[in-house]
Amino acid sequence: MNRDEIIHDAQDVFDKETEAIRASRDVLDQDFVTAVEMIMGCRGKIVTMGIGKSGLVARKIASTLSSTGTQSVFVHPVECLHGDMGMIVPQDVILLLSNSGESDEIRRLLMFVRSRKIKVIAVTARRESHLGQSADAVIGFTVPREACPMGMAPMASTTVQMVIGDALAAALIKLHKFNSDNFAEFHPAGTLGKRLLLKVEDLMHSGDETPLVRSGTRMKDALITMTGKSMGAVLIVTPEHVLKGILTDGDLRRAIQTHPNILEITVDELMTKDPISVNRQDLAMDALRLMEERSSQIAVLPVIDDKRRACGIIRLHDLVIAGL
């Protein structure tokens, strides 16, 4: 195969799977609504199940539901028949994925599930199948063509199952009024968790590290503080510690070119008055946006409290090191 043939075959997969998604979108009906209502009314947990590739998709759906406010676990149907049925109680709802709805494992599983009066939502391409006939709600889908060149391996069908799972999760997120704060609780680690949880006060430099000088301080004294604190700036405050201005390394370099007596003038003559600042309770990610989403980047930000008193400083370097 040459390069063009490889690209053509890859595009064919995209076309077939897109076709299946669109076709399945058009057959969504009241049973999808019923399935959502069953999940919302569930007094236990959602148990996702599937055999083979459908099982792998079911695992992903359980993970998505659990991370967005709907308690869910994956249980393998075969393991369920060999003891794991004890994990499922009548208050649960089973979300069972099967393209054909006719495998032996599914048939045997349904016999035990029905005897325990556990509700079942089926996700299947065959509503008339044993699974479709046994379920309390059937989310049907249609696959005009599998994306497999042989038409055998489940590709388009599993893609559609994945999309159906995402559609369920999206509907439930809205109904649960699940928000970014809730999401942060379930994703404390990694970049996503940091963006949702880390606050400015977690990363800022405060206390003795804060480069503070009083309004009226001469530049020669301010330079001692700027050099000693190594924060790239000094914060100018009133006697009550209210933030009045900021003087950065960049301001200093520019001022040297125009002020021959720079050491004798006061910081008030060179500082940026009422500078952009962040509250210590703000998200660190919001501080990063303030620094970056500008025509000229800001390297440091003063940190203030609710009374606009300077209580620290945060640097772009600190945010980058934190992995934001």
Same-fold call for 3-178 versus 200-321: no
Taking 80 as the threshold, does the pLDDT of residue 186 lie above it?
no
Taking 70 as the threshold, does the pLDDT of residue 182 lie above it?
no
Taking 70 as the threshold, does the pLDDT of residue 187 lie above it?
no
Give the mean pLDDT of the chain: 88
Give me the pLDDT at residue 181, please: 65
pLDDT per position as a tens digit, 143-165: 989 988 887 788 999 999 999 99
pLDDT per position as a tens digit, 36-92: 999 999 999 999 999 999 999 999 999 999 888 898 999 988 887 776 777 888 999
Give me the pLDDT at residue 205, please: 92
Give residue 191's pLDDT band: very low, low, confident or very high (50, 70, 90).
low
The residue that leads in pLDDT, 144 or 189, is: 144
Per-residue pLDDT, averaged over 291-299, amounts to 77
Would you kindly state where each structural domain of the chain is located, as residue ranges?
3-178, 200-321
- The SS3 assignment for 162 reads helix
Give me the pLDDT at residue 133, please: 92
Give me the pLDDT at residue 190, please: 58
- The SS3 assignment for 279 reads strand
Give me the pLDDT at residue 48, please: 96
Give me the pLDDT at residue 77, please: 85
Beta carbons of 248 and 226 less than 8 angstroms apart: no
Structure tokens, 100: 């054909």
The residue that leads in pLDDT, 243 or 196, is: 243
Phi, psi angle pair for 206, to nearest 5°? -135, -175
Taking 60 as the threshold, does the pLDDT of residue 188 lie above it?
no
Taking 70 as the threshold, does the pLDDT of residue 141 lie above it?
yes
* Amino acid at position 74, single letter: F
Selecting from 3.20.20.80, 3.10.580.10, 3.40.50.300, 3.40.1190.20, what CATH number does the domain 200-321 have?
Answer: 3.10.580.10
- The SS3 assignment for 121 reads strand
Give me the pLDDT at residue 120, please: 95
Give me the pLDDT at residue 196, please: 67
Query: 3-178: what fold?
Result: Rossmann fold (3.40.50)
Structure tokens, 12: 């064919």
Taking 80 as the threshold, does the pLDDT of residue 98 lie above it?
yes
Phi, psi angle pair for 228, to nearest 5°? -70, -35
pLDDT per position as a tens digit, 22-39: 999 999 999 999 999 999
Which pairs count as long-range contacts for 50-56, CB under 8 Å and 24+ apart, including other chains? 50/77, 50/96, 50/97, 50/98, 50/161, 51/77, 51/78, 51/98, 51/103, 51/105, 51/106, 52/154, 53/154, 53/158, 54/97, 54/98, 54/99, 54/154, 54/158, 54/161, 55/97, 56/158
Give me the pLDDT at residue 83, please: 65
Q: What is the pTM of this model?
A: 0.64
Per-residue pLDDT, averaged over 304-314, amounts to 91
Give residue 288's pLDDT band: very low, low, confident or very high (50, 70, 90).
confident
Q: Which of 240, 269, 275 is nearest to 252 (CA)?
A: 269
pLDDT per position as a tens digit, 210-241: 999 999 999 889 889 988 888 889 999 999 99
pLDDT per position as a tens digit, 245-262: 999 888 888 888 888 788
